[in-house]
Chain A
């Protein structure tokens, strides 16, 4: 079947062309650009784009206070978002797995934010959390001053809560599918040993879900490192004293607004390496336990 062999390449060709043009090329281009002083210019104009070697990286890592701030912000985001996501998704999936009445309704409601546009979600969260909003009405004197979204401490935490809320349904379904594949005999063995519901949850369910937990931790870290829409819209492009400025939002400001594409590309490459390193470290820790 010689013809079948060649037809395989013909069928995959459009997809490979797509990957080449819009994945491999931009990836390589990003790395290349990050070694140059690559500025945008008016159409037709010839500009010097000198090779600067590791110059962009040197400035970024050693001199750029703002970039350091964005890394700290993302750290706060991940510290709130990741543990909360894992804990809530696990609890809700376990509760769903008990086959209580209203299953379908609960699943649907948890998944709704996931299919809704961030822009729409940000609109209603902004309405809930602005200084005169419903949340502060309910809290009364307990409301923080200044209010949530203009508060140095709270703004990033509100964003982390929003993203947790938006993505949680996806992770609940991942956990639910994994729960249904934990062998029943493990629970029966625990019953024989006289384990209570909590004991079974801790000693059978949690270890059985470790692979999914790893996936959830890594995916939510990647999503956190790529935060853009929420800080841009909810906290007016960076929030109080840049406390919600994310690396990607910073990259946008440098690369598009200030036309310094080479430096912005260096931010992108650095973030990709940071995320891969964090993911690898998380994987190492979670697998070793």
Chain B
């Protein structure tokens, strides 16, 4: 309460200072609630014997070990699962960048009939939940095309991230028309304009689109879970989930190994986010609120 006493003696000033302190405390409390589970996940992963008491949340550094990582690696081949996650995620990012950039360019800088209709379709895809399509998609891809336990089967339904199409479209719209027209008068084809002029200027949009596309397949559970039954084809999220549901009943204290797997799954996304968070935040505001 000393902060209140030090502030200007007017009632308004006093209220404002009190409001700031209350706001700051709310932010700190919120941050604690958000960060603590992550801290606890790492601590639990590093304790050979999970200690669930309150003091167990703050173990002396000497008691930490990598035992749990060895345990989970014996049950779930982490490198193989990570490799599968990388191929799955990489395929989706590649498809999104190639097809999404072409679509974004057509929806912003090329004139053709039906353009606004397709643009509305893009927005519509953003609200149709994948879960609704789960059963027919399974019949089509797994039963019809026989793509169970294949990377293609995992990738295809996610091949183009429509949010990324929208990000490209919004970014390309801002480029000056004169610059593109000058190239057109020089006789450059649209594909050449796109690759030689537009793309070199679009690095921030490409990075934003790649990052937000990354968190989709990297974290996705339901679809790859349906498609992959063989352990050696499962991405990490699926392999870990299967471990969780199979040991939940059988092992006395399975948490250490589960948490070690969770750390391996969470770290790539968290690190990318912390390094590139500026790009994540931009996508947020530009896709949801403009237009």
Contact = CB atoms under 8 A, between A and B. Distances in A.
B106 interface: yes
Interface residues of B, number: 96
Most chain A CB atoms below 10 A, which of B24, B111, B139: B139
Given A95-B27, A177-B289, A237-B245, A268 B105 contact: no
B135 A22 contact: no
A156 interface: no
Nearest to A132: B52
B103 A197 contact: no
Give chain A's interface secondary structure class.
Answer: helix
B222 interface: yes
B135 A261 contact: yes
A23 B38 contact: no
Nearest to B289: A177
Interface string A1-36: 100111111011011101101110111011001000
Q: Is the interface of B mostly helix, strand, loop or mixed?
A: helix
A174 B129 contact: no
Given A109-B35, A117-B221, A40 B190 contact: no
A159 interface: no
Contact of B219 (A116, A124, A132): A116
Interface stretch (B1-9, B59-67, B199-207, B262-270): B262-270
A22 B56 CA distance: 49
Nearest to A170: B284
A30 to B, nearest CB: 5
Given A98-B23, A133-B52, A11 B105 contact: yes
A8 B284 contact: no
Contacts of B118: 12, 16
B79 to A, nearest CB: 18
B219 A108 contact: no
A265 interface: yes
Interface string B93-112: 00000111011011100111
Contacts, number: 285
Contact of B140 (A25, A108, A124, A271): A25
B16 interface: yes
A30 B218 CA distance: 27
B134 interface: yes
A18 B284 contact: no
Contact of A30 (B110, B130, B132, B289): B132
A116 B26 contact: no
Interface string B133-148: 1111111100100000
B172 to A, nearest CB: 11
Given A30-B136, A117-B237, A127 B258 contact: yes
Contacts of B34: 109-110, 112-113, 165, 168-169
Nearest to B273: A115
A172 B121 CA distance: 27
A229 B240 CA distance: 12
Contacts of B258: 123, 126-127
A183 to B, nearest CB: 16
Contacts of A115: 215, 219, 269-270, 272-273, 280
B284 A177 contact: yes
Contacts of A113: 34, 37
A125 interface: yes
A264 interface: yes
Contacts of A170: 284
Contacts of B38: 112, 116, 124
Contacts of B115: 8
| Residue picked from A123, A177, A212, most chain B C-beta under 10 Å | A123
A7 B35 CA distance: 50
Contacts of B274: 108
Given A111-B273, A138-B54, A11 B41 contact: no
Nearest to B212: A115
Given A119-B265, A222-B127, A30 B102 contact: no
5 contacts: A33-B136, A112-B34, A226-B131, A229-B222, A268-B132
Interface of A: 1, 4-9, 11-12, 14-16, 18-19, 21-23, 25-27, 29-30, 33, 40, 88, 91-92, 94-96, 98, 100-102, 105-113, 115-128, 130, 132-134, 137-138, 165, 168-170, 173-174, 177-178, 196-197, 212, 215, 222, 225-226, 228-229, 232-233, 236-237, 248, 251-252, 255-256, 261, 264-265, 268-269, 271-272, 275
Interface of B: 15-16, 19-20, 23-24, 26-27, 30-31, 33-35, 37-38, 40-41, 44, 50, 52-54, 56-57, 98-100, 102-103, 105-107, 110-113, 115, 118, 121, 125, 127-140, 143, 156-157, 159-160, 165, 189-191, 215, 218-219, 221-222, 226, 237, 240-241, 244-245, 248-249, 255, 258-259, 261-263, 265-266, 269-270, 272-274, 277, 280-281, 284-285, 288-289
